[in-house]
Amino acid sequence: MNNPDVVLHLSCTHSPDDDRIFYREGLSLKKTYSLIIIGVSDKTTQETLQDILTIGVKGAGYKNNIQAIMDEARKFKPSLVHVHDLFILKEALQYAQNLKIPLIYDVHEHFPRLVKFYLPGSWVKKQIHRTILAFREKHQSRKATHIITVVPQLTSRFSRWNRHVTEIRNYPRKDLFKNGQTEVSETALRIRDLARDHIILIYAGDISRHRNLFLFADTVAVLNKRGYTSMGVTLGQGEKSDVEDWEDRCRKSQGQMLHLGHIPHGDIPACLQEAHIGWSVLPDRSPFNISLPNKIFEYLACGLPFVSSDLHNIRHLFWKNPAALIFQDKKAEGIAALIQSAFPDRQMLNDIKKTARETFLNRFTWELEESKLLDVYRSILKDEKS
């Protein structure tokens, strides 16, 4: 018998404990609905976390992942299915049609452009794949009951063929980023110890050759040459080869860079709070140029000013905000000079902590976005019952 309160989230590219799916949407939806999240993992798992049933299928290539995820999904009869990537959208639409239930398509990024960027091979091959995926996404997402996006450019794109589009941004939850109230981990204590003698610039996110991390290391090196005693710290995980390359770069930095690897989600706030400046420098090119990185809001939530490349969405939100150093320079020497000029000493960094934290609390908390998500759900499920 169908349980009207059951909601199923599906993704063949995200883990069940993904930041957006679990820590933002999931923790909000569980207040009203019985929630199940099925995603990919490094091993097969099934566990209940904070009253949410999470199921991880062992990653074995996206085609096998789709099959395994849909096999798990067919064990349930939800009232609504919420899909988080294009690869599984076709199968999820058929699943929803068979059950006669609504489907939400949650667009985390410009997927066709992302695939084009990461796909190996010639420009022609990349462009063909992008065109095919863009056509496929347009055709399939027309059939979605509702589409959720994260940035204005995606909202505009999908609104051209689906009238039901809502923009819900990835701002952090206040209750997960309470300054001074998080448990201090060994990693956080290590950063605290380093911060006694260094200004700590920190990056938390994917360890990838596409994330300008080598520019991060070069910038820290220039800062130290300028007499700005600093250290770069990175937290995160990524592809094995990328992580190995980055660890090798850190080892060669003469003690100026330190990679601390993956840490549990709950430990991130305490680690960030021990640092001084957040690093969020993405290449100003597609698909990154329409990004609004989660990490900049997490930095602000922990009282850190951040440095960022001049991307449109960031400039629009933070222009002339003293907690945001937005620049166009692409060389370490120029970036280092800007950092030293904007944040010349510890006193300035301590003074700006309050501004950074208040910017987050006043404008960029998940609690401001949560109501939009709940409104979408109430509207859809109310219509279905009618």
In order of their start, the domains of the chain are: 6-171+366-385 (3.40.50.2000), 174-363 (3.40.50.2000)
**Coil, strand or helix: which one is 203?**
strand
Can you tell me the distance from the alpha carbon of 310 to that of 111, in angstroms, rounded to the nearest whole number?
22
Least confident of 96-100, 213-217, 283-287: 283-287
Distances (CA, A) of 90 to 64, 67, 95, 260: 15, 12, 9, 39
- Quote the pLDDT of residue 120: 81
**Coil, strand or helix: which one is 9?**
strand
Residue-wise pLDDT for 339-380, tens only, equals 999 999 999 999 999 999 999 999 999 998 999 999 999 999
Residue-wise pLDDT for 261-306, tens only, equals 999 888 999 999 999 999 999 888 888 889 899 999 999 999 999 9
Can you tell me the distance from the alpha carbon of 318 to that of 292, in angstroms, rounded to the nearest whole number?
11
**Tokens read off for 204:** 């938390």
pLDDT band (50, 70, 90) for residue 182: low
Residue with tokens 């989600």: 265
Least confident of 106-110, 179-183, 268-272: 179-183
- Quote the pLDDT of residue 180: 59
120 preceded by a cis bond (ω within 30 of 0): no
Can you tell me the distance from the alpha carbon of 37 to that of 56, in angstroms, rounded to the nearest whole number?
8
Residues β-bridged to residue 199: 230
**Coil, strand or helix: which one is 38?**
strand
Chain mean position to CA 114 = 14
pLDDT band (50, 70, 90) for residue 89: very high
